[in-house]
Amino acid sequence: MTTDSTISRLRPRSAQFQQAVRRLQEPCAQPENEFVRDLVIQRFEFCFELGWKMLRLKLLEEGVEANTPPRQHSGSRCGGLSR
């Protein structure tokens, strides 16, 4: 079920996700050490979380109910959003 609320939340979530991915790339360019490794892991987890929330909103917009990551994955494959 698509609602105006779902659509209005998708745009800002998408922008947040894109910014998070850019921020993930920053420490990847740094010399490796334990601090940088931990930072990359934390930023990756944040990107993953934002990504699945954004995918959930997109699937809701398409009329697919997917409240867990496995259901989102199968829903996104059926909807042609992922391979």
pLDDT in tens, the chain (83 residues): 455 666 678 888 889 999 999 999 999 899 999 999 999 999 999 999 999 888 888 888 888 777 766 655 555 555 565 55
Q: What is the pLDDT of residue 72?
A: 53
Residues in the chain: 83
Q: Is residue 25 part of a domain?
A: yes
Q: Is residue 83 part of a domain?
A: no
Q: What is the pLDDT of residue 56?
A: 84
Token pair, residue 14, equals: 């998408």
Q: What is the pLDDT of residue 53?
A: 86
Q: Is residue 41 part of a domain?
A: yes
Q: What is the pLDDT of residue 24?
A: 94
Total structural domains in the chain?
1
* Residue 51: DSSP 8-state: H
Q: What is the pLDDT of residue 61?
A: 82
Q: Is residue 74 part of a domain?
A: yes
Q: Is residue 66 part of a domain?
A: yes
**Helix intervals (H) in the chain:** 4-28, 34-61, 69-78
Q: Is residue 12 part of a domain?
A: yes
Structural domain including 18 reads: 4-78
